[in-house]
Structure 1
Amino acid sequence: MLREINLDEISDGRLYSSNDMAKTDCKGCDGCSACCHDMGNSIVLDPLDVYRLSTNLSKSVNELLTGPLELNVVDGIILPNLKMAGAEEACSFLDTNGRCTVHAFRPGICRMFPLGRFYENRSFQYFLQIHECPKTDRSKVKIKKWLDTPNLKTYEKYIADWHFFLKDLQEYVTNLAFDSSANSDGTARTISMHVLTQFYLTPYPEDGDFYSEFYKRLEKSRLFTQSIGI
């Protein structure tokens, strides 16, 4: 989601790399699931998030979209997000004890919390959110360990490439809305359907090499965007 932020207001004022230490560890959350409630449609999922959920739950993306996931417009592009459910507006993957049932393959946003990402220069750094987690007795841990993500450098490059590819599309669609001569609605739908089909709905190979397939699709999509003048 595109947004302007003031790091001094929401963080400890520092930017971190994955080799730095940060106060992220709240001792297994100790029965707390506050960050899994009342999130609306803000937990937007990238293609790897959805791939991992689909693979580990043995469900197609379409099946997930009829249950724990939903689609919403994010800065002009339709993208999947975690669905909040019930009177408590809880993540659909929480059990009755408030514990995550997909913790081993949880989405990247959940995995790094209470960290966030600050994007610039086609890359990003991490920052520590100071108002989002109610726990105050967090201890320091190396961010690389906290993220618990295989092939972290490859993953971080993928996250940056996906973010800026999507950001370019979102800015294009947003600008279309102000062009009275353009068929903005039709073009936005075409772009959204391309993104959904190319990166989410079309199954990835079963050999588990997500990144290679993702970059093949990204290259095709860049050709597609060039063909429509982006």
Structure 2
Amino acid sequence: MKREVDFNEISDGKLYGLNDMVKADCGDCKGCYACCQGMGQSVILDPLDCFRLTKNLSCTIETLLADKLELNVVDGIVLPNLRMSGEEERCGFLNGEGRCSIHRFRPGICRLFPLGRVYEEQGFQYFLQTQECRMETRTKVKVRKWIDTPDIRQYEKFVLDWHFFLKYLEQQLDQNKDPAFANKVSMYVLKNFYLVPYNYEEDFYSQFEKRLENKRLEASTFL
């Protein structure tokens, strides 16, 4: 999701790598769940997020879309996001005690918060969003530990590949303003990267890379 903001106004002005220490650790939230409510459509899910959710909850993406997730347009492309509901606009995965019921396999944006990413041509770096988390007593933690994701280098490659693939599709949408074309692109993304099931017995990244390579070749003619 594109953000038109002044970097220095929303961060501490620094960029971080995986092995840097950053003041992001909120001490297990201590009863606070402010970042799990009122987030609107901002917790966008990538294919890995949906793979983890459907695998660990033993359900289909269609089942989740009927309750816990919803579809919205993000920079011209329809993508899934966590649904906020009720008077407090709470995440559907938040339990009665204000704790995340899917914490072990929570989405990437949830793992990252309150960090964000700044993308460059060859990669990305992390930054601390200073106005997002309400906890005032945060302590320093290594970025790698905070994100808490296995095979972190492979994960970062996936994040970058997915980011630039979506950017490529957005460029095509900028060149073709026909609503029918936009709908075709969205259905193309949803079907090939979300709705067609992945094999839970196989590595996600290898399956994703195969789909991405095939779709890049296909996109060159389809788009």
Q: Could you say which TM-score interval applies, normalised by the shorter chain?
A: over 0.9
> How many Å apart are 1:174 and its aligned residue?
3.3
Q: Where does residue 210 of structure 2 map in the other structure? A: 216
Pair 1:199 & 2:193 matched? yes
Q: Where does residue 181 of structure 1 map in the other structure? A: none
Pair 1:186 & 2:215 matched? no
Q: Where does residue 86 of structure 1 map in the other structure? A: 86
Q: Where does residue 46 of structure 1 map in the other structure? A: 46
Q: Where does residue 129 of structure 2 map in the other structure? A: 129
> How many Å apart are 1:128 and its aligned residue?
0.3
Number of positions where the alignment pairs a residue of Structure 1 with one of Structure 2 = 223
Write out per-residue CA displacement over residues 152-201 of structure 1, whole angstroms, 9 at most, x where no aligned residue. Answer: 00000100110111112123213422xxxxxx112111111110011001
Conservation of the 8 A alpha-carbon contact between 1:122 and 1:161? no
Matches of 2:8 and 2:67, distance apart in 1: 38
Q: Where does residue 174 of structure 1 map in the other structure? A: 174
Pair 1:113 & 2:113 matched? yes
Matches of 1:100 and 1:206, distance apart in 2: 23
SS of the counterpart of 1:81? Answer: strand
Q: Where does residue 66 of structure 1 map in the other structure? A: 66
Matches of 2:86 and 2:183, distance apart in 1: 30
Q: Where does residue 180 of structure 1 map in the other structure? A: none
Runs of 4+ aligned structure 1 residues displaced above 6 Å come to: none
Matches of 1:108 and 1:15, distance apart in 2: 19
Matches of 1:175 and 1:136, distance apart in 2: 45
* 1:93-104 equivalence runs, <5 A: 93-104=93-104
* 1:19-38 equivalence runs, <5 A: 19-38=19-38
Calculate the TM-score normalised by the size of structure 2: 0.97
| Structure 1, 199-208 or 56-65: larger mean CA deviation | 199-208
Identical columns (%):
56
Calculate the TM-score normalised by the size of structure 1: 0.94
SS of the counterpart of 1:225? Answer: helix
Q: Which runs of 5+ in 1 are unaligned?
A: 178-183
SS of the counterpart of 2:126? Answer: strand
> How many Å apart are 1:228 and its aligned residue?
3.2
* 1:144-159 equivalence runs, <5 A: 144-159=144-159
Q: Which runs of 5+ in 2 are unaligned?
A: none
* Equivalent AA in structure 2 for residue 50 of structure 1: C
